[in-house]
């Protein structure tokens, strides 16, 4: 089964990377960097495909916010604090928030939607978003490419000692979730 997944990644890697970048991104970008390191993908093509996917994803979220304000506010009622935080960040940092949001866990999809609900220029958002997506893809994939051997070693160790890696990974993921959950809570 594992070899089938690896073969799919090698054969359909760019398509998977594009759609993964629309939805989330970082894990797919790291995989693309490692596959570029091993020679199974091209570094430049991976950066372009991932950047375009990230750009398309944020544009979709922006226009969902722009044309479905009432639906979005009702659907994401439980994320009101994140929307408020996104608006505060937009007012405080302006266009820089489009760059920063790619690295804010839990706000990656909320911020473009929140920006879409404001009067922020769609053209300006698209230009800044495109540049931000390409920089995001370049940094993440290039670092994964450079540290590809180390990442492969960590994966090898994690596979060998899965009974330690799984709880450790769950602890780290849970800690990150808890931290961001507390940050967005009412004080």
Q: What is the pLDDT of residues 49-84, one digit of tens each?
A: 999 999 999 999 999 988 887 777 776 666 677 777
Mark whether 113 and 179 lie in a shared domain.
no
Average pLDDT, integer, range 6-24: 83
Angle subtended by helix axes 122-146 and 148-160, to nearest 10: 70
* Total domains in the fold of the chain: 2
Mark whether 115 and 72 lie in a shared domain.
yes
Positions of E strands within the chain: none
Quote the pTM value.
0.78
Mark whether 133 and 166 lie in a shared domain.
no
Q: Among candidates 100, 79, 80, 103, which has minimal Cα distance to 90? A: 100
Whole domain around residue 179: which residue ranges? Answer: 148-187
Mark whether 110 and 184 lie in a shared domain.
no
Mark whether 72 and 158 lie in a shared domain.
no
Binned at pLDDT 50, 70 and 90, residue 18 comes out as very high
Mark whether 72 and 133 lie in a shared domain.
yes
Burial of 28 (C-beta count, 10 Å sphere; 0-12/13-18/19+): buried
**Model pLDDT for residues 147-166, shown as the tens digit of each residue:** 988 888 888 888 788 888 78
Write out the H or E segment, with its range, that includes residue 161: none
Q: Could you tell me the two tokens for 72?
A: 């979005």
């Amino acid at each position: 089964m594992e070899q089938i997944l690896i073969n799919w990644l090698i054969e359909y890697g760019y398509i998977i990377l594009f759609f993964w970048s629309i939805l989330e991104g970082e894990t797919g970008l790291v995989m693309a960097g490692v596959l570029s390191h091993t020679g199974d993908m091209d570094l430049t093509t991976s950066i372009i495909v991932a950047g375009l996917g990230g750009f398309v994803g944020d544009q979709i979220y922006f226009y969902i916010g722009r044309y479905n304000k009432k639906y979005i506010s009702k659907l994401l009622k439980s994320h009101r604090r994140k929307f408020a935080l996104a608006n505060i960040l937009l007012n405080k940092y302006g266009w820089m928030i489009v760059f920063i949001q790619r690295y804010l866990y839990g706000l990656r999809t909320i911020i473009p939607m929140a920006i879409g609900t404001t009067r922020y220029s769609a053209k300006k958002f698209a230009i800044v978003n495109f540049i931000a997506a390409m920089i995001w893809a370049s940094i993440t994939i290039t670092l994964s490419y450079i540290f590809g051997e180390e990442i492969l070693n960590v994966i090898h160790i994690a596979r060998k000692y899965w009974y330690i890696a799984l709880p450790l990974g769950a602890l780290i993921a849970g800690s990150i979730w808890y931290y961001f959950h507390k940050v967005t809570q009412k004080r």
